[in-house]
Amino acid sequence: MIKARFFQFLKPFTMLKKTLSIIVLLLSSFFLKAQVSTSPSIPTANDAITITFDATGTELANYSGTVYAHTGVTLNGSKWQKVKGTWGNNTTQPALTRISTNSYQLIITPNVTTYYGITTETVNEIDIVFRSADGTKQSSPDYFIPIFAAGLNVIVTSHQNNDAITQNATQTISADASLASTIKIYVDNVLQTTANSATTASINYTFSTTGSHLIKATATLNAETVSNEVSVFVKSTTQIASIPSGMKNGINKNNDGSITIVLTAPNKTDALVIGDFNNWLLNEAYQMKKDAATNQFWLTIFGLDPNTEYAYQYLVDYNLTIADPFGHKILDPSNDSFIPLSTFPNLKAYPTGLTTGIVSTFKLTEPTFTWEASYTAPNKNNLIIYELLLRDFDVVGTNDIGDFSKAKTHLDYLQNLGVNAVELMPVSEFEGNDSWGYNPSFHGALDKAYGTATNFKTFINECHKRGIAVIMDVVYNHTMGSSPLAQLWWDGANNRPSATNPYLNPIAKHDFNVGNDMNHESAYTKTYVKETLQYWLQEFHVDGFRFDLSKGFTQTNTLGNSAMMANFDFSRITTLKDYATFLWSINPNTYVILEHFAENLEEKELANFGTMLWGNMNNNYAQNTMGFSSSTDVSWLSYQNRGWNNPHVVGYMESHDEERLMYKNLNFGSSSGTYNIKTLATALKREELVANFFFTIPGPKMIWQFGELGYDISINQNGRLGRKPIHWDYLNDANRKNVYDVWRTLTAFKQQQPVFNTSNFTLNVSTLNKNIVLRDASMDVVLLGNFNLTTQNIVPNFTKTGTWYEYYTGNTLNVTNVMTALSLQAGEYRMYSSVQLNSPLAIEKVGSTLNEVLKIYPNPVNTIFSLNQASQLIKIYDLSGRLVKQFKGNFSKNEPFDISYLAPSVYLLQIETTDAKVYAKKLVKF
């Protein structure tokens, strides 16, 4: 349930270019934003450079420890070359000298070329990030200090692009040249001053009119003239106007081809939009109006090309540039370059040199997508959910992170397993590219590391074609620092959300929080959650949501008393019911699943309302598979044992958060004599055994990926959140394939036979000797399992006397006393039914005639079997439906058929006799 913050420091990639004729530099001061300055102001590769860093407003503000530089250079346009040392290594990375509380210096000496070990390459920039000694705090975004070519250069030193200036305030405008030359300063193309044979020039100037103004500096030496210009903005008063009706936050596409863009920002005074449509420069035409009643800034923009993807940001109160918190796609200069073309082809280029930080994008005309029309979502009470981390499910070529397209190739595998719902670990934008995804930044944007929006839609559509629902794991307990919801109202002094933040709590209300705790009693948060959820439902046709840490959706303060957090919380219940009601108003069949783990009284209230709740039985099931006699009761998986009205417990033995059963079996399993659970074959048999007492308890169930193959890699290998080995090769192991076959048999029964979803059942599952009784009008089923280490006698509690059919062996049992104990070997399991159960798998759905006149003997068999009739064709299939052997010819009665080379398992036989009758039979190979 608890997710540790996942730090991944991926190196930036944007490239800064410099022209050599009449230069229009939008770069130096713009990138540095006054937090980084250099001496000299126009550095070249042959200069010693003093870099001054002002930590004010960064994570390093008021930091008392040593600050280090992670630094390299851009060579021939390729960023982060010649990096000094490695991240976090304080012995190989340079330390800064503290000048004052938040001021530091780093000296590059004797020159850039020597310091970084540059040989023949052309250096374009110094690339630098400042960090704390332990690497947990850093400057952001990364800084790129331009390195100028030797010769004549000029820059405006006093102002930066998009500097906001107060009307009628006198400004000092200054410019520097690299060589003594004639320097001229212009404002709006009107010459203001000239300095001859100078390396600096300045003038005092008063901007009397609002709006954008152009400052330009030129330097002339002999016949060469170079120039640099910046655009500044004189503040104008925000217009107060009511927002048009029907507008949502973010981009609203209007019928006339315009957009209305909306930003909700209480306690803010001004907001302007910058983007591709205005060359990223402040302009009065793009100053947003404000609806004082709703605290919403809004602006309608005309003249857009419907086929162009536009990038944009907001400038709020002239001091903070942010991406759209409600945006559906972002460009991230620090991480996008690491997304391979195979995953996200034709990704829009980041607007390098025009802005910094994350930007949002939109396009008026999106590709039309055709959805599967015949799809009906599975009944929520009978879900077989497969929890899936795309990253570790399968990989694409040289990319070591899985994505939607690669996962799509395994949907037939999941369908054959009996899965009817896939629960994707978070796929909305999270920080970095390599993560579990529980570090969210933009809840309404798809993370590009997993593919395009079309890729996601295609994945969902292909799932729907197979009757598989798609559930998104969503993280609304918190958001991370890169989220605009945090940045807009941030207390830099305390490095936390400010007291005026309408979305986030300055201090988390509970001990399990990571990131910045969301305030779900705020109307602003409720709107944010609902609008982003609505987007996923309507745009992507997802079938439901699993709410991570839903117990955290409260303003009840339980800090320091984590147990209290589970207490009945009426306000939390009200919030969750509100979200569920909203989702059901859009699609009444939306699955609402809560990772809650509150006291049963609260969970019962929510379950009876219609939500489903995670039921974690990892420890108890592990105790059983390992053969330990304590904590073996698994009856809490039953909704009836919890006193709920409906089967709304999403039970699971494993999840992304729990240790794998097979790892525990192999490392901690018990033994007695020659029976040793730590041996692979025995450990896998325990996985078959336990499945019979998991899937057969009525109600929805969840599988963690590869559990069906006995995945035995520890959750802590390569770190809890780190990548894990992908073992599709396990399918080639007969014992692991048997686990898969048993699991898929049980899931098929669950979906095809009403008895496995009955409300009339008895669980005798508190000890290692287990017995489940299922009763239905169609038939009764009795399950027996011996989780002990030695042979045990188990009372079956048959519901009636007479003939009972054991599914796995095909044997029959004449019951005269329903309480007569049956002897089961260690690890043995049986499933008896009052009506014979035929294989639920596809092979026996062929129009075959089941006639007991045909007999297979012996059955079970080790090497050779025979038939009591003459035959001409025998096809042998494994439980996945794969043809593994075929006998074709004229075979007499009692002819021997050798299958000694087949792995021990249950096989399905399709037999055609010489009189052209077709039979389907089951054969057990031991």
Question: How does DSSP assign 203-236, residue by residue?
Answer: EEEE--S-EEEEEEEEEEETTEEEEEEEEEEE--
- pLDDT at residue 871 above 80? yes
Q: Taking a C-beta distance cutoff of 8 angstroms, is the pair 620, 693 a contact?
A: no
> What is the percentage of the chain residues whose pLDDT exceeds 70?
94
Give just the sign of the alpha carbon dihedral 330, 335, 341, 342: negative
> What is the percentage of the chain residues whose pLDDT exceeds 90?
84
Q: How far apart, in whole angstroms, are the C-alpha atoms of residue 845 and residue 90? A: 66
Smallest CA-to-CA distance from 490 within 9, 61, 914 is with 61
- pLDDT at residue 97 above 60? yes
Domain boundary among 306, 337, 363: 363
Question: How does DSSP assign 87-109, residue by residue?
Answer: TT-TTTSPBPEEEETTEEEEEE-
Residue 221 shares a structural domain with residue 348? no
pLDDT of amino acid 32: 46
Instruction: Name the burial class of residue 720, with classes exposed (0-12), middle (13-18) and buried (19+) by CB atoms within 10 angstroms of its CB.
Output: middle
Q: Taking a C-beta distance cutoff of 8 angstroms, is the pair 9, 443 a contact?
A: no
Q: How far apart, in whole angstroms, are the C-alpha atoms of residue 242 and residue 867? A: 85
pLDDT of amino acid 399: 64
Residue 170 shares a structural domain with residue 190? yes
pLDDT of amino acid 157: 94
pLDDT of amino acid 11: 27
Does residue 779 lie within any of the structural domains?
Answer: no
Does residue 834 lie within any of the structural domains?
Answer: no
Per-residue model confidence as pLDDT tens digits over 830-866: 999 999 998 887 433 322 333 346 889 888 888 999 9
Please work out, in degrees rounded to the nearest 5, the angle formed at the alpha carbon of residue 487 by the alpha carbons of 484 and 493. 170
Per mean pLDDT, which range of 121-125, 155-159, 413-417, 911-915 is the poorest?
911-915
- pLDDT at residue 96 above 60? yes
pLDDT of amino acid 843: 38
Q: Taking a C-beta distance cutoff of 8 angstroms, is the pair 482, 440 a contact?
A: no
- pLDDT at residue 787 above 70? yes
pLDDT of amino acid 239: 98
Tokens describing residue 76: 């021939």
Higher-pLDDT residue of 398 and 257 is 257
Domain boundary among 732, 751, 770: 751
What backbone phi and psi angles, to 5 degrees, belong to 820? -70, 125
Number of domains making up the chain? 5
Residue 481 shares a structural domain with residue 344? no
Residue 255 shares a structural domain with residue 176? no
Residue 916 shares a structural domain with residue 859? yes
- pLDDT at residue 395 above 90? no
- pLDDT at residue 413 above 80? yes
Does residue 287 lie within any of the structural domains?
Answer: yes
Tokens describing residue 681: 């074959």
Higher-pLDDT residue of 505 and 142 is 505
Report the CATH number at residue 440.
3.20.20.80
Per-residue model confidence as pLDDT tens digits over 439-471: 999 999 999 999 999 999 999 999 999 999 999
Q: Are strands 296-301 and 289-291 parallel, antiparallel or unpaired?
A: antiparallel
pLDDT of amino acid 26: 37
pLDDT of amino acid 7: 26
Residue 130 shares a structural domain with residue 167? no
Does residue 220 lie within any of the structural domains?
Answer: yes
User: How far, CA to CA in Å, does 920 sit from each of 833, 842, 846, 853, 917?
Assistant: 19, 11, 8, 12, 10
Smallest CA-to-CA distance from 708 within 724, 695, 720 is with 695
Please, which residues bridge with residue 479 across strands?
A: 516
Where do we find the tokens 């999941």? 414
What backbone phi and psi angles, to 5 degrees, belong to 738? -60, -40
Q: How far apart, in whole angstroms, are the C-alpha atoms of residue 448 and residue 334? A: 13
Does residue 335 lie within any of the structural domains?
Answer: yes
Per mean pLDDT, which range of 261-270, 337-346, 776-785 is the poorest?
337-346
Residue 538 shares a structural domain with residue 660? yes
Residue 280 shares a structural domain with residue 388? no
Does residue 368 lie within any of the structural domains?
Answer: no
pLDDT of amino acid 397: 64
Identify the band that residue 4 occupies on the pLDDT scale cut at 50, 70 and 90.
very low
Residue 166 shares a structural domain with residue 123? no
Please give the sequence-ordered ranges of beta strands (E in DSSP) within 725-837, or none if there are none: 760-764, 769-775, 780-786, 792-794, 802-806, 812-815, 822-824, 829-833
Identify the band that residue 51 occupies on the pLDDT scale cut at 50, 70 and 90.
very high
729: phi > 0 → left, psi -120 to 50 → alpha, else beta; which? alpha
Per mean pLDDT, which range of 48-52, 96-100, 181-185, 907-911 is the poorest?
907-911
Tokens describing residue 135: 């690497």
pLDDT of amino acid 850: 31
Q: How far is CA 224 from the centre of its chain?
A: 54
- pLDDT at residue 899 above 50? yes
What backbone phi and psi angles, to 5 degrees, belong to 265? -150, 80
Q: How far apart, in whole angstroms, are the C-alpha atoms of residue 167 and residue 209? A: 7
Task: Please provide the average confidence, as pLDDT, over all residues in the chain.
Answer: 92
pLDDT of amino acid 108: 97
Helix (H, G, I), strand (E, B) or coil at 295: coil
Which residues have C-beta within 8 Å of that of residue 534, sequence separation ≥ 6?
582, 586
What angle do the packed helices 618-626 and 680-691 form, to 10 degrees?
130
Domain boundary among 751, 775, 790: 751
Smallest CA-to-CA distance from 245 within 316, 301, 296 is with 296
Tokens describing residue 65: 């420890």
420: phi > 0 → left, psi -120 to 50 → alpha, else beta; which? alpha
Where do we find the tokens 């089951």? 922
Residue 533 shares a structural domain with residue 631? yes
Q: How far apart, in whole angstroms, are the C-alpha atoms of residue 184 and residue 181? A: 10
Higher-pLDDT residue of 510 and 916 is 510
Does residue 807 lie within any of the structural domains?
Answer: no
Q: How far apart, in whole angstroms, are the C-alpha atoms of residue 456 and residue 451? A: 7
Q: Taking a C-beta distance cutoff of 8 angstroms, is the pair 381, 489 a contact?
A: no
- pLDDT at residue 328 above 90? yes
Please, which residues bridge with residue 200 across strands?
A: 176
Per-residue model confidence as pLDDT tens digits over 493-535: 898 999 999 999 999 999 999 999 999 999 999 999 999 999 9
Identify the band that residue 21 occupies on the pLDDT scale cut at 50, 70 and 90.
very low
User: How far, CA to CA in Å, does 752 sit from each of 416, 508, 514, 775, 842?
Assistant: 14, 47, 42, 15, 12
pLDDT of amino acid 8: 28
Smallest CA-to-CA distance from 12 within 133, 126, 148, 160 is with 126
**161: which DSSP letter?**
T
What backbone phi and psi angles, to 5 degrees, belong to 426? -45, 130
- pLDDT at residue 9 above 60? no
Tokens describing residue 123: 């250096």
Does residue 788 lie within any of the structural domains?
Answer: no
Per-residue model confidence as pLDDT tens digits over 641-654: 999 999 999 999 99
Per-residue model confidence as pLDDT tens digits over 692-710: 999 999 999 999 999 999 9
Which residues have C-beta within 8 Å of that of residue 377, sequence separation ≥ 6?
469, 543, 589, 591
- pLDDT at residue 20 above 80? no
Per mean pLDDT, which range of 13-22, 94-103, 379-388, 801-810 is the poorest?
13-22
Please work out, in degrees rounded to the nearest 5, the angle formed at the alpha carbon of residue 388 by the alpha carbons of 386 and 393. 125
- pLDDT at residue 785 above 50? yes
Q: Are strands 421-424 and 812-815 parallel, antiparallel or unpaired?
A: unpaired
Residue 210 shares a structural domain with residue 312? no
Instruction: Name the burial class of residue 409, with classes exposed (0-12), middle (13-18) and buried (19+) by CB atoms within 10 angstroms of its CB.
Output: exposed
Q: Three-state secondary structure along 798-863?
A: CCCCEEEEECCCCCEEEECCCCCCEEECCCCEEEEECCCCCCCCHHHHCCCCCCCCCCEECCCECC
Per-residue model confidence as pLDDT tens digits over 627-642: 999 999 999 999 999 9
Tokens describing residue 232: 């500044």
Range of the domain at 527: 380-751
Q: How far apart, in whole angstroms, are the C-alpha atoms of residue 387 and residue 564? A: 29
Task: Specify the pTM.
Answer: 0.85
Q: Are strands 289-291 and 490-491 parallel, antiparallel or unpaired?
A: unpaired
Residue 124 shares a structural domain with residue 61? yes
Q: Are strands 421-424 and 428-430 parallel, antiparallel or unpaired?
A: unpaired
Report the CATH number at residue 848.
2.60.40.3080
Please give the sequence-ordered ranges of beta strands (E in DSSP) within 285-375, or none if there are none: 289-291, 296-301, 309-316, 320-322, 330-331, 359-363
Q: How far apart, in whole angstroms, are the C-alpha atoms of residue 347 and residue 361? A: 11
Report the CATH number at residue 208.
2.60.40.10
Identify the band that residue 910 occupies on the pLDDT scale cut at 50, 70 and 90.
confident
Tokens describing residue 652: 């699971």
